[in-house]
Amino acid sequence: MFIVENYPLAVLFCVITMLCWGSWANTQKLVHGQWRFELFYWDYVVGILLFSLVAAFTVGSAGSQGRSFIPDLQQALPENLRSAFVGGIIFNLANILLTAAIAIAGMSVAFPVGIGIALILGVIVNYVALEKGNPALLALGIGLVTVAIILNARAYRVASSANKSAGLKGIIISVVAGILMSLFYRFVAASMDLENFVNPAAGKMTPYTASVIFALGILASNFIFNTIIMRRPIQGTPVSYRDYFKGKAAFHLTGILGGSIWALGNLCNLIAAGKAGPAVSYGLGQGATLVAAIWGVLIWREFKQSPKNVTGLLTGMFLCFIAGLGIIIIAGS
């Protein structure tokens, strides 16, 4: 299987994660207004599982290094399988809420608030579990990210004065999603041998196997979480499974593409964690906030009718995020 051999390559993989995790939501934006996010989300989940399986049977099983997918799955201990599966459940609940927040408040708000909080808490949780990286620099990096979140929230409050109830609702949902999102990665990381992907400890899984079990946890929990949201939606009228099967093929393919993009980022992040450590790997991956904010501001023009002072706030947000992520990279080296 393919394994990252050095820290610079691990950072590159984290950058790929950042791009993927910050860009998948564009697929939802492409069908927004035509296809409810609850229905879109089913295809998104299928895309995550399909990509994870394809990766496990190809790059995860090729070559002489490490265990290939099937042997690795057969030897995995139940507690490790359960840990990755639970990680999928936690992620799914967090991501459904984040997707709802995107629909309500937009990418340039839901991502910086939700994923920004996930970055801060997630780095702390993962560093406590495996102390890899300079703690002082990590703290400085997430401190700058915190400032970026505050600036973004302020920018949104100024820009959304005409619709304060929707803005507040979107921010609250984003905060809850962020707290949950900070927890899932630790469960997946715990199922792997982060110290040795070449010859992983007996009972532990490789990143490729862990990503598949993680995806199965997402799919299984989706029958509960997404069904509830379909019947009692956060916004709009209820939808049914009949509505899903009436959807156009283009809508379904768009959702599968979104899930595949996210799954590529997830796999790159898990592979990078062996050299970068889970705290740095997760923290850099959640720099997706910056990528999503750029999409929201520059491409989707979510602040195009905002007061002039919003531009300064957004500029400050971007600068703080970039500085924070740069310091996190240095902390891992």
Please compute Rg for the chain using Cα positions. Answer: 19
Note the pTM of the prediction, 2 decimals: 0.88
pLDDT in tens, 128-139: 988 888 999 999
What are the structure tokens assigned to 194, written together? 């982060």
* Contact assessment for residue 137 and residue 281, using Cβ atoms and an 8 Å cutoff: no
The lowest-confidence range among 172-181, 204-213, 263-272 is: 172-181
Residue that the structure tokens 């602040």 belong to:
303
Query: First vs last Cα of the chain: how many Å apart?
Result: 25
User: Which tens digits make up the pLDDT trace of 12-34?
Assistant: 999 999 999 889 889 988 998 89
pLDDT at 101 over 60: yes
Q: How many CA atoms does the CB half-sphere of 162 hold within 13 Å?
A: 5
Three-state SS at 19: helix
Statement: residue 236 has pLDDT above 70: yes
Amino acid at 8: P
The number of angstroms, rounded, from the C-alpha of 129 to the middle of its chain's C-alpha atoms is 20
Q: Which residues contact 333 (CB under 8 A, 6 or more apart)?
A: 7
Handedness of CA 93, 94, 95, 98 (dihedral sign): positive
Q: Is there a contact between 100 and 169 (Cβ–Cβ < 8 Å)?
A: no
The secondary structure element, H or E, covering residue 243 is helix 241-245
pLDDT of residue 295: 82
pLDDT of residue 321: 86
Residue 292 has pLDDT above 80, yes or no: no
- What's at 194, amino acid-wise? L
Residue 277: count other Cβ atoms within 10 Å of its Cβ.
25
Q: What CA–CA distance (Å, rounded) separates 55 from 134?
A: 32
> Is the per-residue pLDDT at 166 higher than 70?
no
Q: What is the DSSP letter of 286?
A: T
Q: What pLDDT sits at residue 248? A: 96
Q: What's phi and psi for 110, nearest 5 deg?
A: -60, -45
Residue 41 has which token pair? 């989300």
Residue 305 has pLDDT above 70, yes or no: yes
Between residues 301 and 268, the one the model is more confident about: 268
The SS3 assignment for 205 reads strand
**Residue 288, both tokens:** 């997706």
Give me the chain's average pLDDT, please: 89
Question: Scanning the structure block, which residue is given the tokens 């042997």?
Answer: 71
In one letter, which amino acid is 168?
L
Other beta carbons less than 10 A from residue 136's beta carbon: 10
Check: CB of residue 153 under 8 Å from CB of residue 171: yes
Structure tokens at 144: 């700058």
Query: What would the mean pLDDT of 156-166 be, rounded to a whole number?
Result: 61
Q: Could you report the per-residue pLDDT of 194-211, keeping only the tens digit for each?
A: 988 988 899 999 999 999
Name which of 149, 157, 147, 111 is nearest 307 in CA terms: 157
Local confidence band at 98 (pLDDT 50, 70, 90 cut-offs):
confident
Question: Which pLDDT value is given to residue 162?
Answer: 46
pLDDT above 70 (res 297): yes
Q: What is the pLDDT of residue 108?
A: 62
- Other Cβ atoms closer than 10 A to 135: 12
Tell me the average pLDDT across 46-74: 94
pLDDT over threshold 70, residue 160: no
